[in-house]
């Protein structure tokens, strides 16, 4: 009996290690805060090397790396292209063709934005990510790790699709809560993907985005609304808590309250995204994508 219990316990511990890549992708920022802590190589590994590996897979793995079984929804592939396509679809004639992605990680969405914008700036707080993005821009390709069972897996190479014009894309290290210091000028589009609830002051990011966008420009938020005090002090959460009266604050409702005075809501949809931790273990995001157009009279 007791040995059975022990096996279960060891099994649960193994599970913690197995979930590491998906959790690392989901948490995103934590390694920046914890980067000086020693890494154990598993679920608490937030070293640059480990995060680059996780996001390299997330951004550059091929559809066939995910579509292994008939039951896997076809919609889970192409997340970053779909994020960029939303921006491109809502670009308005005559609005400056300059876009910024805040929290670009390994850069896939920023590269995809070059299909529809003359200039794109990918910003991330991590120097390691920005160095990686610049390497991909220079070489047009990147290696990524495709996790297999246990310690198995393979290193694969992904090439940037030929329609991507990487000469239009620049990457900069910077803080998404200090956008004016980063922007080369007024912007036609700003996008965040799974980053708004990973910065220390999301309201500040939204306010600065509003000020940097030209009238008619778009703010695209693709977010899972997974607030955590690991990255964002609770008094800065936009939603996901109970207010003083005990009423639940819903993030989308809060976004509407903050944004609708200056923006109109153009589209909302679900964008699926998966991170592959093993051939039979995927981490599945059902992000809420919202597209907000800055009102002309602002």
Question: By the criterion CB under 6 A, which residues form the site for ligand SAM?
Answer: 28-29, 32, 58, 102-103, 105, 123-126, 129, 175-177, 193-195, 198-199
Closest CB 246 distance from ligand SAM, rounded Å: 30
Residue 198 and residue 168 in contact, taking contact as beta carbons nearer than 8 Å: no
Gyration radius of the chain's alpha carbons? 20
Closest CB 105 distance from ligand SAM, rounded Å: 3
C-beta of 114 vs 126, nearer to ligand SAM: 126
C-beta of 92 vs 288, nearer to ligand SAM: 288
Closest CB 15 distance from ligand SAM, rounded Å: 22
C-beta of 46 vs 168, nearer to ligand SAM: 46
HSE (side-chain half, CA atoms, 13 Å) at 220:
34
C-beta of 182 vs 265, nearer to ligand SAM: 182
Residue 205 and residue 234 in contact, taking contact as beta carbons nearer than 8 Å: no
Residue, CB closest to ligand SAM: 28
Q: Cα dist. 55→29, 40, 241 in Å?
A: 12, 19, 29
C-beta of 204 vs 295, nearer to ligand SAM: 204
Residue 174 and residue 130 in contact, taking contact as beta carbons nearer than 8 Å: no
Q: What are phi and psi of 12, to 5 degrees?
A: -65, -40
Closest CB 59 distance from ligand SAM, rounded Å: 6
Closest CB 156 distance from ligand SAM, rounded Å: 18
Contacts of 67 (CB under 8 A, 6+ apart): 74, 77
Closest CB 29 distance from ligand SAM, rounded Å: 4
- Beta-bridged to residue 270, according to DSSP, are 288
C-beta of 215 vs 224, nearer to ligand SAM: 224
Closest CB 285 distance from ligand SAM, rounded Å: 9
Nearest-10 crossing angle of helices 48-60, 127-139: 50
Q: Cα dist. 270→86, 202, 239, 284 in Å?
A: 12, 21, 18, 12
What is the layout of strands, in order, in the sheet containing 213-223?
Answer: 169-173, 119-124, 98-102, 187-193, 213-223, 281-294, 263-278
- 225 torsion bin: left (phi>0), alpha (psi -120 to 50), beta (else): left
C-beta of 43 vs 215, nearer to ligand SAM: 43
C-beta of 14 vs 269, nearer to ligand SAM: 269
Closest CB 63 distance from ligand SAM, rounded Å: 17
């Amino acid at each position: 009996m007791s040995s059975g219990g022990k096996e279960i316990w060891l099994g649960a511990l193994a599970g913690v290690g197995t979930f590491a890549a998906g959790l690392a992708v989901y948490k995103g920022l934590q390694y920046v805060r914890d980067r000086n802590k020693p890494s154990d190589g598993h679920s608490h590994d937030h070293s640059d090397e480990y995060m680059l590996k996780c996001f390299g897979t997330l951004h550059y793995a091929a559809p066939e790396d995910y579509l292994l079984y008939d039951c896997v929804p076809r919609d889970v592939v192409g997340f970053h292209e779909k994020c960029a396509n939303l921006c491109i679809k809502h670009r308005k004639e005559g609005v400056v063709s300059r876009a910024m992605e805040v929290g670009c990680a390994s850069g896939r969405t920023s590269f995809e934005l070059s299909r529809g914008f003359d200039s794109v700036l990918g910003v991330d707080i991590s120097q390691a990510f920005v160095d990686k993005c610049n390497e991909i821009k220079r070489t047009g390709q990147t290696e990524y790790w495709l996790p297999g069972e246990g310690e198995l897996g393979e290193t694969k190479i992904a090439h940037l699709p030929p329609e991507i014009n990487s000469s239009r894309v620049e990457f900069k290290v910077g803080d998404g809560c200090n956008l004016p210091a980063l922007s080369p000028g007024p912007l036609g589009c700003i996008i965040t993907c799974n980053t708004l609830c990973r910065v220390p002051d999301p309201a500040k990011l939204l306010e600065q985005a509003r000020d940097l966008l030209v009238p008619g420009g778009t703010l695209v938020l693709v977010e899972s609304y997974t607030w955590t005090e690991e990255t964002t002090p609770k008094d800065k959460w936009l939603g996901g808590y109970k207010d003083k009266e005990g009423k639940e604050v819903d993030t989308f409702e809060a976004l509407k309250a903050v944004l609708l005075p200056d923006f109109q809501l153009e589209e909302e949809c679900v964008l699926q995204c998966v991170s592959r931790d093993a051939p039979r273990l995927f981490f599945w995001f059902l992000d809420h994508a919202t597209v907000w157009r800055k009102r002309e009279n602002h």
